[in-house]
């Protein structure tokens, strides 16, 4: 639920970028599903699939120790499947991070938040623009160079590294966050791999976190064939039969035996002026309903 007025101050196209990407990715594996969009005089609404497992950020925060290789392998496989589908539709996510990876009630991932996505980037086409979250950006993004879909794999590599070690790959010390040039670190510093890290995972991460986009594109071309995935049955993963080895605690809610209707009233004295007709026209094509809703 988002306020229309907030987008009038920025770029109304942002809200359409999110809805258009989700429409394009309907029924895609490991991607949050959009059922429909609708609007009122003041608000835009997204009707999304309900995911009770929270997000990956909370899962990491709640974990006592780094994730084991079995969990990391399945998580990585689901990410590969999801990103392959996204990229096949000409979309680059550009903001892969723990907060944008949601979990269903079982623990399967769902990639979310396509508000910064680049669209219609097919084949050898490139795009540009410093979009995303700096800590998870590939070097070519914040250097404002032309780039392709492999920036999402770089971000995925950072997420996996954090899950495997509970540390950020490019800053040697947590205190460096405040005085170290993060951009320089991402461009020039080698990831600080731990001695305990699984060898196959380490080799996989080196390919994802390759700083050269040209080399990275070659290295990620056949990710399903990586040694890390030798124990993965891709058909089982894609069908949802491969269940995550960890338990996801759903949020605690009271049983709902009755429907509660909330009525929201506005004080006319405090209410801002209504949006003008020409402003409402900016949102005229927003509403839609999927086939199954």
Q: Give the bridge partners for 127, in sequence order.
A: 147
Residue 81 in contact with residue 29, Cβ under 8 Å?
yes
Helix (H, G, I), strand (E, B) or coil at 227: helix
The C-alpha atoms of residue 184 and residue 193 are separated, in whole angstroms, by: 18
- Write out the two tokens for 200: 């196959």
DSSP character string of 107-157: S-EEE---TT-B-S--TT--B----S-GGG--HHHHTT--B-THHHHHHHH
Cα distances (angstroms) measured from residue 124 to each of 90, 148, 207, 215: 10, 8, 20, 15
The C-alpha atoms of residue 166 and residue 101 are separated, in whole angstroms, by: 17
Residue 94 in contact with residue 118, Cβ under 8 Å?
yes
Catalytic residue check, 192: no
Q: Which residues contact 124 (CB under 8 A, 6 or more apart)?
A: 148
The C-alpha atoms of residue 241 and residue 18 are separated, in whole angstroms, by: 29
Cα distances (angstroms) measured from residue 264 to each of 48, 129, 267: 22, 40, 10
Q: List the catalytic residue out of 55, 95, 104, 113.
A: 95
The C-alpha atoms of residue 250 and residue 16 are separated, in whole angstroms, by: 31
Considering only CA atoms, give the Rg of the chain: 21
Q: Hey, which residues are catalytic here? A: 95
């Amino acid at each position: 639920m988002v306020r229309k007025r907030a987008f009038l101050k920025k770029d109304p196209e942002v809200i359409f970028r999110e809805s258009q990407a989700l429409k394009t990715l309907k029924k895609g594996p490991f991607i949050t599903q959009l059922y429909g969009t609708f609007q009122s005089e003041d608000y835009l609404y997204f009707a999304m699939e309900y995911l009770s497992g929270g997000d990956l950020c909370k899962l990491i925060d709640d974990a006592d120790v780094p994730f084991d290789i079995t969990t990391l392998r399945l998580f990585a496989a689901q990410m590969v499947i999801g990103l392959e589908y996204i990229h096949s539709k000409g979309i680059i996510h550009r903001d892969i991070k723990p907060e944008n990876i949601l979990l269903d009630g079982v623990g399967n991932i769902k990639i979310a938040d396509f508000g910064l996505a680049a669209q219609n980037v097919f084949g050898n086409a490139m795009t540009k623009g410093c979009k995303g979250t700096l800590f998870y950006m590939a070097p070519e993004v914040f250097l404002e160079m032309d780039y392709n879909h492999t920036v999402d794999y770089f971000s995925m590599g950072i997420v996996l590294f954090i899950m495997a070690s509970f540390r950020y790959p490019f800053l040697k010390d947590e205190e460096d966050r405040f005085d170290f040039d993060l951009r320089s670190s991402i461009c020039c510093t080698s990831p600080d791999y731990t001695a305990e890290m699984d060898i196959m995972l380490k080799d996989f991460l080196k390919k994802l976190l390759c700083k050269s986009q040209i080399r990275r594109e070659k290295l990620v071309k056949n990710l399903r064939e990586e040694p890390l995935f030798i124990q993965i049955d891709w058909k089982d993963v894609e069908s949802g039969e491969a269940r995550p080895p960890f338990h996801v605690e759903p949020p605690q809610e009271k049983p709902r035996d009755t429907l509660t209707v909330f009525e929201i009233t506005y004080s006319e004295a405090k209410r801002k002026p209504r949006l003008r007709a020409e402003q409402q026209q900016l949102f005229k094509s927003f509403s839609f309903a999927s086939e199954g809703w």
